Chains A and B, each alone.
Chain A
Amino acid sequence: MESCADATFAVGRPRTTRSTYVLVGAPNVGKSVVFHRLTGTYANVSNYPGTTVEVARAPLRFESGAMLLDTPGVLAFPSRSADERAAMRALLCENPRALVQVADAKHLRRSLAITLTLAETGLPLVLALNMSDEAAARGVRLDLPALAQALGIDVVATVATLGEGVGRLVESMPAARIPRLHTAYPAAVEAAIAVAAQRIAARLDRLPFAARGLAILFLARDPEVEHWLGARDPEFARDLAATRDAAESGGERFAAAIARSRAEAAGTLASRTELVAPRPPESRAAVLGRLALHRLWGPPILLAVLYATYLVVGVFGAGTLVDLTEDRLFGGLVNPAVTTFVQAYAPWGWASDLIVGPYGLWTMGMTYAVALILPIVTTFFLVFGVLEDSGYFARLSVLANRGFAAMGMNGRAVLPMVLGLGCVTMATLTTRILATRRERLIATFLMALAIPCSAQLGVVLGMLSALGFGWTVAWAAVLVVVLVLAGALAARLIPGRRIPLLTELPPLRWPVAGNVVKKTAGRLVWYLREVIPLFLLGTFLMWLMDRTGVLPWLIERGEPLVTGWLGLPKEAAAAFVMGFLRRDFGATGLFALGAALSPAQTLVGMVTITLFVPCIASMLMIVKEQGAHVAALIVAMVVPLALLVGGLVRIALVSLGMWA
């Protein structure tokens, strides 16, 4: 992991002879709307170097030559989550001209805790209290001049969505002042801060923050500050850390004392500023929010949400849209044209085969990624965005928590796991939101094993429902049992402790279209940039395996297992191998055997193919996210498990006399 303390970090960084303003703030305070107001763009989202989290950067509208950087939402510093670390990195590395904190006027105390932290950096700061219209509607009255006076900086009330207050914000930014209010910590902590600050100031020059600010963050064990210091002067960093650890031993951790003092100081300041505190919202939203978790009403509401999701993603996305893109657009127009073109101009036969053949990069890889998966994940992301922005998702993670606890995770995992029903490749990327490596491993393994992606779901459900509802239920039941058992086993075997769930429940509200679109667009860009290349790479590998005869060899090797253990016709072996390239092909391969399979055989086939390895793009993504060793281990576990369960299902059906 690079740090801007390294010389190497300079490579690829934007030139910063321009001054940069940095936006900081909690999530959902309207930072991106402020960004839009100040730059006129909606986000040039890019991966911040050294992180996996995205930040937006654009030129400021009103000050030529100046840039504005948007950082991910932070709950507090010292940084803990990936978002907070990315924000801290920006503060350390950007050499900002000034910081602009965007805060929610309704949640003053929490905002001020961040303000007090930023004040310690010694960087010029402006505080924008956004959503001040909502605060006023709740009856809040704030004494802004008193707050500005206490902090020693400009405090501007804004309603970014309406553009109110933006003019004054713009004026205050170049004139931003360094805050003069400082949190006083307990004596022992202050002593340690003073010593550390003095040592830092004496030892290093060109500090990004005030020495006191760095000292406080270092004592609180901020990983980005530790890393920055370690890259800058490893010996000094070790020394300083040793002093810190020695001073802490036996007593309260500095981080805890600092967090507590800061929360108290923010509370005091907030109570002095709030002339009238906000009334809690008594509205249908609040009632609905309670109902969503209610013992009696929660499950029906959840079912309604799931059904709506099925309609949008399953029926519209996977049905209507895919018909348009796969059959009409690609099948009817684009692919024939591309095929003719390539076949006419390709210099060698194998080149033409590579691009437009049965395993063609275009006809197979690109068509699959764009014509089939893209419409489905787009509708999926839209539904997700709606669920997230409305606040329902937080409640969903609470409802799902107990189930996930059995599998060593917590309710937060509901996002990637359910996303896996759309696209496992994409969902594997999303496991990044899980807090620990252990959770990410468990979630990745379970998705590779027991979560059918939308491509596969469509065909599997089609085949099973043709046989009757009972067979569909049987398939689903087997999957759920395997999921829970495998999860419980993985939780036992992978070292580490489960993280209990602690989550905010934002008030339910109508989702804001702009937010949903922006989130969806961001995820689509991710999909296009990260996932499609993997599909193409996977297609190429399959093409190579076919050309070199590895594929036919694999199929031949698999036939005895397929006929003997699973009781399926030997052609099914080809279907399984094909499923490695495209999961729907695996299922349709069995479909093509159609009339040759009895209902019982269909069930065995569907169960095995669902549990079997996910598509090659997913496997490549797992290699990318978790490493080749983990990917190999997952394959080594998933393949035998899939075959084992398939065989067990056959044995069960035989013993029930249903094997015909």
Chain B
Amino acid sequence: MNRTLDTVPPGHTVLLARIDDSLAPDFREQLAAYGFVPGRALEVLAQQPMTVVVCDHVELALEAAIARALVVRETGTAA
């Protein structure tokens, strides 16, 4: 099931499955630098006014357009 980061309720932690190809390359590189690699745990803090997520101990705010391109899976599920 393809779930994206913008649908994760606040307080939940998910794992990043992959970054969708539709996301601009510049963003993908920036996200990689922040540690968004497959398997990374992402804790969602809020979805309003924007998606706020903790990645590798760093808090980030992303617009829905970016969050929609981050495909995630539940912790404990197979990759």
| A→B interface (CB under 8 Å) | 75-76, 78, 80, 106-107, 109-110, 113, 253, 255-256, 259-260, 262-264, 267, 278, 280, 289-290, 293, 295, 298, 394, 398-399, 401-402, 410, 500-507
Contacts and interface: CB of A to CB of B under 8 A. Distances in A.
A253 B25 contact: yes
B52 A505 contact: yes
A660 to B, nearest CB: 44
B60 A503 contact: yes
Contacts of B61: 293, 394, 398, 501-505
B37 A106 contact: no
Contacts of B48: 295
A289 B59 contact: yes
Given A504-B59, A505-B59, A263 B65 contact: no
B29 A80 contact: yes
B57 A259 contact: no
Interface string B6-21: 0000000000000000
A255 B32 CA distance: 10
Contacts of A107: 56-58
A502 B27 contact: yes
Contact of B37 (A255, A264, A293, A398): A264
B35 A80 contact: no
B45 interface: yes
B59 A110 contact: no
B62 interface: yes
26 contacts: A75-B33, A76-B30, A76-B32, A107-B56, A109-B35, A113-B33, A256-B25, A256-B29, A259-B28, A259-B32, A262-B32, A263-B32, A264-B37, A267-B56, A280-B57, A293-B46, A398-B61, A401-B50, A410-B63, A500-B62, A500-B65, A500-B66, A502-B30, A503-B61, A505-B61, A506-B59
Nearest to A298: B49
Contacts of A267: 35, 37, 40, 56
Contact of A502 (B32, B49, B62): B62
B32 A260 contact: yes
A506 B60 CA distance: 8
A507 B57 CA distance: 10
Nearest to B36: A263
A255 B63 contact: no
Contact of B49 (A264, A401, A410, A507): A401
Contacts of B36: 263
